[in-house]
Amino acid sequence: MKPTLLLLAAGMGSRYGGLKQLDGLGPNGETIMDYSIYDAIKAGFGKIVFVIRKDFEQEFRDKVLSKYEGHIPAELVFQSLDALPEGFDVPEGRQKPWGTNHAVLMAKDAIKEPFCVINCDDFYNRDAFMVIGKFLSELPEGAKNTYAMVGFRVGNTLSENGTVARGICSKDDNENLTTVVERTEIMRVNGAVCYKDEQGEWVAVDDNTPVSMNMWGFTPDYFEYSEAYFKEFLSDPKNIENLKAEFFIPLMVNKLIVEGTASVRVLDTTSKWFGVTYAADRQGTVDRIQQLINEGVYPQKLF
């Protein structure tokens, strides 16, 4: 069974107003998302599902979905603040969405096969899709509790224009994830990759240390765990009082690992991530895409 690609796009309108962030970085106005989908098709994915907000459905269908017709089946699912389990209400005053794992939950009825979750605004590169596509397509039919995460080498994920936030990963001797610790300030200091710790000190790590770029591989049983844990999350008074509390993917994954319910294989990739973390990153991203086109990795026009 061919795996599905789940793209988290619900934050689009709220962060940028309309779909302005569908910034054309390729020579024919291609977005970062377009390159991800092109790579996923090359890696053997059979379907794409977008999580978006209902209020820009028509604009999204016209500007985004239409271009993939004839290339790969595509579906939309919707994330909203009030998409909650029965018996739960939106806390008074809350406006912020419920986070990445809530977004994943919205695809429960659309996905019945192994699937990969990605952000829409990260350029993951072809090898990352090949690596996770291979893992998911080789899972035995009906597989459960065997997940994966693409572990990018931290030295391949930095910005030249400031610090970046990454989940620094630890793994055991079997290449399975043991912890993900979010570090919000990572950069090169005197040539070495460093993160700022809780005391404000810079701590050096090896360039090849795996980090999470929110590229996960799951099987459909993950939805059931997420549904159950979301009810626990919503039953915790501190998550109701904190109007910005979010139900993140690493929160769910960490629970499953700690309980011994699931294993998460850390898949190595040589891919060099890039994206537009800072406005100053834009031209560098345009140049790198053009370089990949010049090298024959991508055609001049994708779709």
HEC-encoded secondary structure of 74-88: EEEEECCCCCCCCCC
**Three-state secondary-structure class, residue 153:** strand
- Please report the pLDDT score of residue 294 as a whole number: 97
Integer Rg of the chain from CA = 19
Q: What is the pLDDT of residue 108?
A: 97
Q: Is the pTM of this model over 0.85?
A: yes
Strand ranges (E), the chain: 4-8, 47-52, 74-78, 115-119, 122-123, 146-153, 164-171, 177-189, 192-196, 202-205, 210-218, 263-269, 274-275
Q: How confident is the model at residue 199, as a pLDDT?
A: 93
Q: Of 54, 45, 56, 58, which is closest to residue 21 (Cα–Cα)?
A: 56
CB 80 within 8 A of CB 71: no
Percent of the chain at pLDDT exceeding 90: 76
**3-state class (DSSP) for residue 261:** coil
Tens digit of each residue's pLDDT (9 = 90 or more) over 130-147: 999 999 999 999 999 999
Distance in angstroms (rounded) separating the CA atoms of residues 82 and 63: 26
The CA distance from 70 to 157, in Å, is 33
Mark 70-102 as b/e (b = at least 16 C-beta within 10 Å): eebebebbebeeebeeeeeeeeeebeebbbbbb
- The DSSP code for 280 is G
Rounded CA separation 110/124 (Å):
24
Question: Could you read off the pLDDT of 208-231 as tens digits, one per residue?
Answer: 999 999 999 999 999 999 999 999
